Structure 1
Amino acid sequence: MTMANRRRGEIAATIDGQERVLCLTLGALAELEAAFEVEDLAALAQRFSTGRLSARDLTRVVAAGLRGGGAAVSDGDVATMTTEGGIAGFAAIAVDLLKVTFGAGDGTRPDP
């Protein structure tokens, strides 16, 4: 079983039948800022706070999280992966990852 440290911004998720750790590291966040063409983390958080995520958004967030967790995957690789619950499962993974990263949902902020 893979151990994720939520205080470090990590989550565990089963993707393609494998337990994986996802983390939006500083590099992963910079990658998402560029992909979503936003100027800073506040704008990135605002972009995600709408609750409206496309399939492309989910692919980018999950792929960046997997790369931040140490996996060598591309966005294209993630687009072909599966998870329990299909698209709803990927949405739940992305939402959980964003909540842990930006400190929402559980009343705590990740340790710096």
Structure 2
Amino acid sequence: MLEGNPFTGEVTIVLNGERQILKLTLGSLAELEAAIAEDSLVSLIERFEAGRFTTKDVIRLLLAGLRGGGWQGTGRKLLDADIEGGMPQAIRVAALLLTRSFAMPVT
């Protein structure tokens, strides 16, 4: 399930049976940049485009998106969560979150 409002950059994921909205806000982007300290958002995007991302990249991106969507959980809670669709779905959601956040939707 990759719903959400593409015009506002939203994507959804199901954690522990509950649908959550992910969105990269300015605050969550700043948090993401701090988490990837020596890296940049551009290099993160390039890794996803080239298929060279790490599990850590996926988790950090999901956490930033969840926080931007209003989720109050911690990184530990995300690591312990049951993600509907498993890691393949987590990767799809992370990639779509980047796409929707940095590309204009086609109308």
TM-score, normalising length: structure 2: 0.81
Whether 2:83 is the aligned partner of 1:88: answer no
2:32 matched residue in structure 1: 32
Does residue 1:63 correspond to 2:70, yes or no? no
Paired with 2:58 and 2:41, the residues of 1 have a C-alpha distance of 18
Q: Which structure shows the bigger proportion of residues in helix conformation? A: 2
CA deviations over 1:34-55 (Å, ceiling 9, x no partner): 2112575444433443322222
Aligned partners of 1:55, 1:39: CA distance in 2, in Å?
15
Aligned residues: 103
Which residue does 2:7 correspond to in 1? Answer: 7
Structure 1 residues 15 and 43, CA gap change in structure 2 (3 angstroms):
same
Residues 33 and 44 of structure 1 are in contact (CA less than 8 Å); yes or no, is this contact kept in structure 2?
no
Larger RCO (CA under 8 A, 6+ residues apart): 2
Structure 1, 85-94 or 59-68: larger mean CA deviation: 85-94
Q: Give unpaired runs (5+ residues) of structure 1.
A: 104-108
Coordinate RMSD, CA, aligned: 2.0
In 2, are the aligned partners of 1:22 and 1:65 still within 8 Å (CA)?
A: yes
Secondary structure of the residue aligned to 2:89 is: helix
Q: Tell me if structure 2 keeps the 8 A contact 1:28–1:67.
A: yes
TM-score, normalisation: structure 1: 0.78
SS at match of 2:14: strand
The residue number in structure 1 matching 2:45 is: 45
Contact 1:38 1:44 in 2 (8 A): no
Whether contact under 8 Å (2:13, 2:20) holds in the other structure is yes
Distance in 2 (alpha carbons) for counterparts of 1:91 and 1:61:
10
Residue 38 to residue 46, structure 1, CA distance change in 2 (3 Å) = farther
